């Protein structure tokens, strides 16, 4: 595996084939994910993998919750974002619009209901964290998520991290019998990319490195 090639090629997939992913493949990917580093090797991550009819039932529940509560994708910050970050989000949506137009879909509906439906992926994976850990351990979850995303690409699979579903954590916990002391940190859609879908031609842009770095020498 050429790691640099995988990092450069990877993109978030928002249209999947219905083909099931073998359980053994999912297990191999998760075995790589848990090789991620964590503070004093606590390995705080826990995974809930949902497939088949249960995945379909979960999506129906989440879409219903979205229509009732209307909590949509977005930063969800208490304070307004600084202009720099807000502009990046707006630019990304602007760059996506031609693909939405080609598909003939409403952007808000596609993103919000699509997130609740895991964009049609046959596999949904939830990353959970016990509430006995400080919030700083969410960093460890992020590291495992990164490993999972890159490994999935190497297996010919696509992924899309989905943060919106955490707004409907109560529904997820109830349906999947996740204990109250477990925090649902993020979900991931996993499956084989539908290469015919226009939206999968979209790759988000990145600012130049000098926008993010400050050297102290």
Q: Is the pLDDT at 76 greater than 70, yes or no?
A: no
Distance in angstroms (rounded) separating the CA atoms of residues 77 and 81: 7
Q: Is the pLDDT at 77 greater than 90, yes or no?
A: no
Q: How does pLDDT run across 184-209, given as a tens digit for each residue?
A: 999 999 999 999 999 999 999 999 99
Name the burial class of residue 112, with classes exposed (0-12), middle (13-18) and buried (19+) by CB atoms within 10 angstroms of its CB. buried
Distance in angstroms (rounded) separating the CA atoms of residues 15 and 119: 6
Distance in angstroms (rounded) separating the CA atoms of residues 100 and 65: 24
Q: How does pLDDT run across 113-123, given as a tens digit for each residue?
A: 999 999 999 99
Contact 144, 33 (CB under 8 A): yes
pLDDT at res. 78: 53
Q: Is the pLDDT at 132 greater than 90, yes or no?
A: yes
When comparing pLDDT for 82 and 6, which is higher?
A: 6
Tell which residue, 12, 14, 64, 48, has the closest CA to residue 184.
48
Whether the CA torsion 105, 106, 111, 113 is positive or negative: it is: negative
Per-residue confidence band for 86, with pLDDT thresholds at 50, 70 and 90: confident
Tell which residue, 29, 54, 34, 57, has the closest CA to residue 44.
34
- Topology at the third CATH level for domain 3-71+82-202: NADH Oxidase (3.40.109)
Q: How does pLDDT run across 6-62, given as a tens digit for each residue?
A: 999 999 999 999 999 999 999 999 999 999 999 999 999 999 999 999 999 999 999
Cβ neighbours, 10 Å, residue 67: 11
Q: Is the pLDDT at 74 greater than 80, yes or no?
A: no
* Residue extents of the structural domains in the chain: 3-71+82-202
Distance in angstroms (rounded) separating the CA atoms of residues 129 and 116: 21
Compute, in degrees rounded to 10, the torsion defined by CA atoms 172, 72, 44, 182. Answer: -30
The overall longest dimension of the chain from CA atoms, in Å, is: 57
Please give the structure tokens belonging to residue 189. 């859609």
- What 3-state DSSP class applies to 204? coil
Look over the chain and give the mean of its residue pLDDT values, rounded to a whole number.
94
Q: Is the pLDDT at 177 greater than 70, yes or no?
A: yes
């Amino acid at each position: 595996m050429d790691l640099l090639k995988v990092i450069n090629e990877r993109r978030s997939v928002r249209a999947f084939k219905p083909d099931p992913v073998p359980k053994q493949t999912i297990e191999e990917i998760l075995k790589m994910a848990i090789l991620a580093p964590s503070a004093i090797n606590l390995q705080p991550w826990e995974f809930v993998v949902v497939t088949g009819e249960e995945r379909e039932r979960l999506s129906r529940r989440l879409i219903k919750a979205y229509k009732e509560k209307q909590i949509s994708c977005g930063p969800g910050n208490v304070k307004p974002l600084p202009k720099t970050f807000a502009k990046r989000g707006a630019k990304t949506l602007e760059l996506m619009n031609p693909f939405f137009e080609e598909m003939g879909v409403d952007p808000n509906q596609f993103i919000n209901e699509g997130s609740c439906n895991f964009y049609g992926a046959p596999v949904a994976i939830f990353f959970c964290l016990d509430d006995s850990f400080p919030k700083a351990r969410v960093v460890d979850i992020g590291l495992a998520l990164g490993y999972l995303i890159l490994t999935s690409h190497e297996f010919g699979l696509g992924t899309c991290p989905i943060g919106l579903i955490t707004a409907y954590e109560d529904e997820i916990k109830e349906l999947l019998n996740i204990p109250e002391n477990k925090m649902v940190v993020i979900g991931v859609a996993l499956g084989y990319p539908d290469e015919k879908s226009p939206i999968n031609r979209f790759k988000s842009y990145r600012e130049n490195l000098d926008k993010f770095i400050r050297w102290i020498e």
